[in-house]
């Protein structure tokens, strides 16, 4: 349990009214009807401003006015609904303001023990009732009604297993909540009251077993969230006053130095100040390949230090780490209901009262109008309806059991939790069930080019040596000329020269920047230039003149020495034009009289980009559109390379918004993928906004509907596959549970469905079925970038 005294206050009567928010752990609140009961209890308390109840995590967040009630009053209101509040006060595990119900000992709980006792009594009762009939003697009588040994055993079973059910039904009636506890409690009491002890005991035991199984299934669903919360260690090794001290992670202050040894988990976000290591960031980004970290690099809480020793300076408290934000958003995602979930909630509001009315009519009308049996024929099928009031009363009770909407009410939220937590483990943060649903239904995906399909960093892609020079000589001269420039192109050339190990750069003199064209400097007493083709045309070179080359660039027939043109540049045929057509920036290197070489520079396409677009097409996305502010040539070259269906070039940020709106008008629902910062307006306009590379970027986490934590476009097909599959699972769960309920309801008047069958199939079976079906989403894994696949998305 945590308090937030900084919750926004509200003005009342000219003054500021302070409101407090308390988060309480209510592990037994594990179904929508449970939450509804708690909500109604809280609504009756004067001073409760707002309540957010999450049965999938077993938590209640309540905002209240401290002038009118206390935290104890809030707790009492929840307990008045029949649910215990645990982990209060100092016993609460600090999770940075985040809570989840602790793991429960389902099979050894007090309710489980009562259930096993009841099951034993039922077994013995059935033994006396149907096997040891000679020993099933009368042992007592109530109002002239004889009680046999079996009856006493059935009553004992009803008391042992049915008491928790009836207690829940009492609280439901008290809070005017027509839920499963009230329906089952009523059925148990009614069956006992008319002497149907076998049915009452069977119903009590089977329903209790069903509740235990549902608790177990919900506990498994909660485990996925617990695993996220356990990624970050509780303690950190901190250097204080020159000594290493072990302290709780939540007590480490920003600016303190944290020590992490090989094999340790990183407890907070920070910046490396000493040492280096390979760090496994898969808990944050979903990337299984460790990332090398050196001084100045960022590290994230929950990451694992693989082998080296590092020290880092904490840049955020434990409660504000990237991992904490992820967990908080995953938990908060449940508050945003999908359209299907809203439909189910509305439907359940009509379904339960309708079935309850039918149950009453079933118990009351047939005995009044059917005497000696009635034959009904329909479409070639005939059935004889018969039985006294006791028979029809039991059939009415069976309909009460079927009236519980639990299976299809939980069908959507349990699928959403499974999908969202699975995505979080794979480095994809989905901030609401509504976004999960919307992503699975998009008709087109718009993708920004720079930083999304490409790396967003210039790099040298081609080096062409001319006039007998080598690639190393071209790079060495170009790097020498560019070493004083701060232009991104210069940085790309220097990085390539460093990677190629071209050796010491020659000294330069008389450095001069030629604005918009290039640079000039003296190298070993001779003037060298590096710049655009236009610069060398001004120097007198005819770049349109070229020697024909074939066979991979081998000179065919004519060499530079044999050419009688003084302005001969000896350039491979079409090299400059080809590079420009490919969307690359061309830099020439040479002197006043000769060219040394050509360097092509481009924003490199991500290795996974082409495969990601192909996979999206395979998954059924018909329209993948690239949006970019680059020129037409560059846009066309990148679009052809990665395989997008169309592209829009030379777009300003506000024009990207117009482009997204145009795509929506043309195709329907559109998802937009960008960096979450420069593309924020377009992300907000799209039906689903997806930010890439969001780890450590608060803005991206806040602005996007979905965040790809790593810098990996390859996660986009996984996201679509997961979302599309989740929508299918939700539809399966809803219609299957409704279909089974409908079949059972039709079978009740025909005498084909017993109370036991209604509980085992209609309640327990369907609840376990929809939960198990939803858990299948956790098996969907992203496709590996380099060909290896853990599991095909959508499998």
The residues that are catalytic are 448
Q: Distance between CA atoms of 569 and 544, rounded to whole angstroms? A: 9
Instruction: Tell me the CA distances in angstroms from 540 to 396, 536, 544, 611, 614, one per residue in order.
Output: 100, 7, 12, 45, 46
Q: Distance between CA atoms of 87 and 96, rounded to whole angstroms? A: 15
Token pair in block for residue 119: 């099951």
Q: Which residues of 227-243 are buried (b: 16+ CB within 10 A; e: fewer)?
A: ebbebbbeebbbeeeee
Q: Distance between CA atoms of 620 and 602, rounded to whole angstroms? A: 31
Helix (H) or strand (E) holding 199: helix 197-229
Which residues fall within 8 angstroms of residue 379, CB to CB, at 6 or more apart? none
* Pair 481, 590: CB distance under 8 Å: no
For residue 729, which of 345, 334, 340, 412 has the smallest C-alpha distance? Answer: 412
Helix (H) or strand (E) holding 723: helix 715-747
Which residues fall within 8 angstroms of residue 239, CB to CB, at 6 or more apart? 245, 256, 257, 258, 259, 311
Helix (H) or strand (E) holding 257: strand 257-260
Q: What is the dihedral of CA 147, 153, 157, 159, to 10 degrees?
A: 50
299 forms beta bridges with: 270
Token pair in block for residue 428: 């994809």
Token pair in block for residue 577: 């034009």
**Other C-beta atoms lying within 10 Å of the C-beta of residue 385:** 16
Which residues fall within 8 angstroms of residue 83, CB to CB, at 6 or more apart? 26, 28, 29, 34, 37, 38
- Pairing relation of β-strands 623-627 and 444-448? parallel
Residue whose entry in the numeric block shows the structure tokens 């064209």: 517
Token pair in block for residue 704: 């996007």
Rg of the chain over all Cα atoms, to the nearest angstrom: 36
Counting every residue, how long is the chain? 795
Which residues fall within 8 angstroms of residue 555, CB to CB, at 6 or more apart? 547, 549
Which residues fall within 8 angstroms of residue 601, CB to CB, at 6 or more apart? 458, 459, 460, 461, 489, 492, 493, 584, 585, 586, 587
* Pair 474, 496: CB distance under 8 Å: no
Sign of the CA dihedral running 152, 157, 159, 160? positive
* Pair 682, 664: CB distance under 8 Å: no
- Give the largest CA-CA distance in the chain: 129
Burial of 135 (0-12, 13-18, 19+ CB in 10 A): exposed
For residue 480, which of 531, 533, 528 has the smallest C-alpha distance? Answer: 528
* Pair 560, 596: CB distance under 8 Å: no
Which residues fall within 8 angstroms of residue 109, CB to CB, at 6 or more apart? 212
For residue 660, which of 620, 689, 694, 692 has the smallest C-alpha distance? Answer: 689
Q: 3-class DSSP state for residue 247?
A: strand
């Amino acid at each position: 349990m945590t308090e937030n005294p900084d919750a926004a206050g509200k003005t009342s009567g000219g003054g500021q009214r302070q409101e407090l928010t308390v988060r309480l752990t209510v592990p037994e609140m594990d179904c929508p009807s449970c939450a509804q009961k708690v909500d109604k209890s809280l609504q009756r308390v004067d001073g409760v401003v707002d309540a957010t109840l999450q049965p999938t995590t077993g938590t209640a967040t309540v905002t209240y006015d401290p002038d009118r009630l206390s935290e104890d009053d809030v707790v009492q209101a929840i307990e008045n609904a029949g649910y215990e509040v645990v982990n209060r006060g100092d016993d609460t595990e600090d999770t940075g303001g985040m809570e989840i119900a602790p793991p429960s000992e389902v099979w050894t709980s007090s309710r489980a023990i009562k259930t096993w006792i009841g099951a034993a009594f039922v077994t013995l009762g059935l033994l006396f009732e149907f096997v040891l009939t000679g020993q099933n003697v009368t042992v007592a009588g109530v109002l002239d009604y004889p009680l046999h040994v079996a009856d006493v055993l059935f009553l004992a079973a009803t008391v042992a297993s049915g008491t928790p059910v009836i207690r829940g039904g009492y609280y439901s009636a008290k809070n005017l909540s027509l839920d499963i506890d009230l329906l089952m409690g009523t059925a148990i009491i009614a069956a006992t009251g008319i002497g149907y002890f076998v049915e009452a005991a069977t119903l009590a035991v089977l329903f209790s077993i069903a509740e235990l199984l549902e608790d177990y299934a919900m506990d498994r669903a909660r485990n996925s969230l617990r695993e996220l919360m356990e990624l970050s260690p509780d303690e950190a090794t901190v250097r204080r006053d020159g000594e290493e001290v072990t302290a709780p992670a939540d007590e480490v202050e920003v600016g303190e130095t944290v020590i992490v040894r090989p094999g340790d988990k990183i407890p907070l976000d920070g910046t490396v100040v000493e040492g280096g290591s390979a760090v496994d960031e898969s808990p944050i980004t979903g990337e299984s390949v460790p990332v090398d970290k050196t001084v100045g690099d960022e590290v994230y809480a929950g990451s694992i230090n693989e082998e080296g020793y590092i020290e880092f300076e904490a840049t955020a408290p434990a409660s504000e780490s990237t991992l904490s934000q992820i967990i908080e958003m995953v938990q908060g995602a449940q508050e945003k209901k999908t359209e299907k979930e809203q439909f189910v909630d509305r439907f359940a509001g009509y379904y339960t009262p309708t079935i309850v009315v039918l149950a009453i009519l079933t118990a009351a009308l047939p005995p009044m109008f059917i005497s000696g049996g009635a034959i009904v024929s329909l479409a070639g099928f005939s059935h004889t309806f018969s039985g006294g009031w006791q028979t029809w009363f039991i059939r009415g009770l069976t309909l009460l059991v079927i009236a519980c909407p639990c299976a299809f009410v939980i069908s959507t939220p349990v699928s959403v939790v499974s999908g969202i937590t699975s995505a979080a483990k794979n480095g994809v943060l989905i901030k609401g069930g509504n976004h999960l649903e919307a992503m699975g239904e998009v008709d087109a995906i718009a993708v920004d080019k720079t930083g999304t399909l490409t790396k967003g960093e210039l790099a040298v892609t081609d080096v062409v040596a001319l006039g007998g020079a080598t690639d190393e000589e071209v790079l060495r001269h170009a790097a020498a000329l560019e070493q004083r420039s701060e232009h991104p192109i210069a940085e790309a050339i220097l990085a390539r020269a460093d990677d190629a190990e071209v050796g010491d750069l020659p000294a330069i003199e008389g450095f001069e920047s030629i604005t918009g064209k290039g640079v000039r400097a003296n190298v070993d007493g001779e003037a060298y230039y590096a710049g655009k083709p236009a610069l060398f045309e001004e120097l007198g070179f005819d770049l349109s003149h070229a020697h024909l080359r074939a066979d991979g660039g081998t000179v065919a027939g004519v060499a530079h020495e044999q050419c009688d043109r003084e302005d001969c540049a000896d350039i491979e045929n079409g090299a400059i034009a080809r590079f420009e057509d490919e969307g690359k920036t061309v830099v020439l290197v040479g002197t006043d009289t000769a060219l040394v070489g050509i360097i092509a520079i481009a924003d490199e396409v991500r290795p996974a980009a082409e495969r990601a677009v192909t996979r999206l097409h395979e998954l059924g996305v018909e329209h993948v559109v690239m949006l970019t502010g680059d020129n037409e040539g560059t846009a066309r070259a990148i679009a052809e390379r990665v395989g997008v269906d169309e592209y829009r070039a030379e777009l300003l940020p506000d024009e990207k918004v117009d482009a997204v709106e145009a795509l929506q008008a043309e195709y329907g629902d559109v998802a937009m993928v960008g960096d979450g910062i420069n593309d924020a307006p377009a992300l907000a306009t799209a039906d689903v906004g997806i930010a890439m590379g969001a780890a450590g970027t608060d803005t991206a986490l806040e602005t996007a509907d979905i965040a790809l934590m790593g810098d990996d476009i390859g996660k986009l097909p996984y996201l679509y596959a997961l979302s599309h599959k989740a929508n299918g699972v939700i539809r399966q769960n809803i219609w299957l549970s409704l279909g089974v309920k409908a079949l059972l309801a039709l079978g009740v008047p025909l005498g084909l469905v017993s109370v036991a069958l209604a509980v085992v199939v209609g309640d327990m079976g369907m609840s376990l079925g929809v939960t198990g079906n939803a858990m299948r989403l956790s098996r969907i894994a992203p496709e590996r970038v380099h060909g290896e696949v853990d599991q095909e998305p959508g499998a």
